[in-house]
Amino acid sequence: MPDNYDDPRGGLATPRPGQEHFVAEVDEGGLGAVDAVKSDSAPSSFWRDAWREMRGRWLFWVSAAIILLVVLVAAFPGWFTSLDPRLDCELTESLGGPEPGHPFGFDKQGCDIYTRTIYGARASVLVGIMSTTMVVLVGAVMGSIAGYYGKWFDTILSRVTDIFFAIPLVLAAIVIMSVTPNRTAFIVALVLALFGWPQIARITRGTVMSVKNNEFVTAARSLGMSRGRILRRHVLPNASAPIIVYATVALGQFIVAEASLSFLGIGLPPSVVSWGGDINQYQQAIRTAPEIILYPAGGLALTVLGFMMMGDVVRDALDPKARKR
């Protein structure tokens, strides 16, 4: 809705062949100028307000910094360490404490824990982003079709959603992953998304149903806009706030789920450095060196915390009801 203010036709549908159109002449002078919208001053849109609200909060900047750091670490681990997490291991250093150049000490295999913690970020961030993207795409499409078109579409899609909703995420993921032979980050993300989308479909369906009864939707329809175009241009942008909020929180939950699977030994294979896998490996030394488990766990917690805090800030900014207070 906010992006076509200066479209003079106001999103009017192009006339179909053979269709007659009456277009009133535009009154260029006199009173018409009074009515004209000042196009040089930007309208105070919903998203602009939300952004102003967000940037005023320290929590936003803290979580943005954490997310930026984690994404950088995940994308370019070589910037943060010069060692290799799998090859630069000396068994003589097994479970050795911190020393210069190795701030976190060594694990049982004599690998540098700092390096492993740095390299572990990639698996978590990758799985989190991939499964969230899939969940948002599938959930938003399913939910908006069910909510917008209604009728038998809604009946069938809602029942399918109910079926997937009836199986708890972690349980389903454990059952599928335990029988999956080649476990890559993509496969883990796919499995998590397969059982994670119903939540977002429900949220989208609900908001789309409440948005589609607004006057501007009726107006767009009376102007002859097609249903698909109304859904894309008017309904979805106005229903996107809850989807964005849920997606930010879901990203954190998917990261935890991936770590849980890797911890159980049915997530990513041991050849991939991941926080969940490292926690599993380090817990075997929990009596002799209990503190080393805190490094991968800390990385995991910090990442999830960053996304959860961001979700909080975004929710406060996008919910006008909460903003008033």
Which residue number, 105 or 276, has a Cβ lying nearer to another protein? Answer: 276
| Stretch of 37-45, 101-109, 205-213, 289-297 lying at the interface with another protein (CB under 8 A) | 289-297
Which of 45-50's residues contact partners 24+ apart within 8 Å by CB, and which partners? 45/2, 46/2, 47/2, 49/323, 50/314, 50/317, 50/318
Name which position in 300, 313, 314, 317 contacts another protein (CB under 8 A).
Answer: 300
Q: Which of 46, 149, 153, 164 lies at the binding interface for another protein (CB under 8 A)?
A: 164
User: What is each CA distance from 175 to 16, 123, 191, 267, in whole angstroms?
Assistant: 53, 21, 10, 11
CB of 246 closer than 8 Å to CB of 197: no
Regarding 95 and contact with another protein (CB under 8 A), the answer is no
Count of chain residues binding another protein (CB under 8 A): 44
Instruction: Show contacts with another protein in window 170-199 (CB under 8 A).
Output: 170-172, 174-176, 178-179, 181
Ordered DSSP codes for 3-36: GGTT-TTTTPPPPPTT-----PPP--STHHHHHS
Among residues 82, 159, 213, 288, the one that binds another protein under rule CB under 8 A: 159
Which range binds another protein by CB under 8 A, 46-54, 112-120, 159-167, 211-219?
Answer: 159-167
Near another protein by CB under 8 A: residue from 228, 302, 320, 323: 302
CA distance 271 to 157: 39
Please identify, using beta-carbon distances, which residue of 125 and 225 lies nearer to another protein. Answer: 125
- State how far the Cα of 28 lies from the Cα of 10, in Å rounded to an integer: 17
Exposed/middle/buried for 204, CB within 10 Å: 0-12, 13-18, 19+? buried
| Tokens of residue 72, six digits | 């950088």
Least spacing, CB of residue 155 vs another protein, in Å: 11
Span from 41-49, 131-139, 168-176, 215-223 in contact with another protein (CB under 8 A):
168-176
- What is the C-alpha to C-alpha distance for residues 206 and 243, in angstroms, rounded to an integer? 11
2 binding another protein? (CB under 8 A): no
Find out whether 117 and 301 touch, Cβ atoms under 8 Å: no
Q: What are the φ/ψ torsions at residue 14 (nearest 5 degrees)?
A: -70, 135
By C-beta, is 75 or 286 nearer to another protein? 286
Q: Work out how close the CB of 93 gets to another protein at its nearest, in angstroms, rounded to a whole number.
A: 23
45 to 41, 42, 176, 219: CA distances (angstroms): 12, 8, 45, 20
Across-strand partners of 99?
102
Binding mask 198-237 for another protein (x = CB under 8 A): ----------------------------------------
Q: Nearer Cβ to another protein, position 91 or 163? A: 163
Binding-site ranges for another protein (CB under 8 A):
159-160, 162-164, 166-168, 170-172, 174-176, 178-179, 181, 252, 256, 259-260, 263-264, 266, 276, 279, 283, 286-287, 290, 293, 297, 300-305, 308-309, 312, 321-322, 325
